[in-house]
Structure formats: structure tokens, C-alpha cells
Amino acid sequence: MSFRAGCNQLVEVAFGVEGRHIIPEASYIALEDATPTFPTSEPVEMNNRLWVEMKNGDSANAHRITVLVTIIGTFGDNKWP
């Protein structure tokens, strides 16, 4: 996740798999001028729905943040990229 300068902790983000919150474990995260990484060993199966939800609590300005998810591992006999 990359929160640009000016977000002022007004942009909230959550990431999950299927119906489970992964980052953070519950609720949302909101930062200012930060690009944290969140290593996790969350099991993900082929065709699981990954989701990101963003909320902009700043009624005066639009904000853009970036969320990048990398999946590493194997699925049966097939390796995931």
C-alpha cells in the first residue's frame, strides 16, 4: 500500500481474501506519506476472490493510493507465477 503525502490519514484501506480481512485484520488502515509492506502467510486458493476496499474521508479532495498484492506459492502440480 502506498499512501501519498496529503492523504492525512483520511484515506482508509482494507485488503482481504473472500470474506476475510487480511490487512489489517479488522477494520481499515489510514496513513500519511507511507509505503508499508505487510508480509503474511495467508492461504489463498485458486479462484479465491481477492478484494481491496478504499474509503475517502476527505470531502474536499480526491486521493489516489496504490495497493499491490503478490502471491507466491504452488497450487497442486502447477506453480503460480
Q: What would the pLDDT profile of 61-73 be if each residue is shown by its tens digit?
A: 998 889 998 888 7
pLDDT digits (tens, 9 = 90+) for 25-44: 889 999 999 999 998 888 88
Sign of CA dihedral 23, 59, 65, 36: negative
pTM of the predicted protein model: 0.79
**C-alpha cell recorded at residue 35:** 509505503
Question: Shortest CA distance to 67 belongs to which of 26, 32, 37?
Answer: 37
Tell whether the model's pLDDT for residue 80 goes beyond 70. Answer: no
Supply the pLDDT for residue 16: 94
Containing structural domain, residue 38? 1-81
Give how many domains the chain has, as a whole number.
1
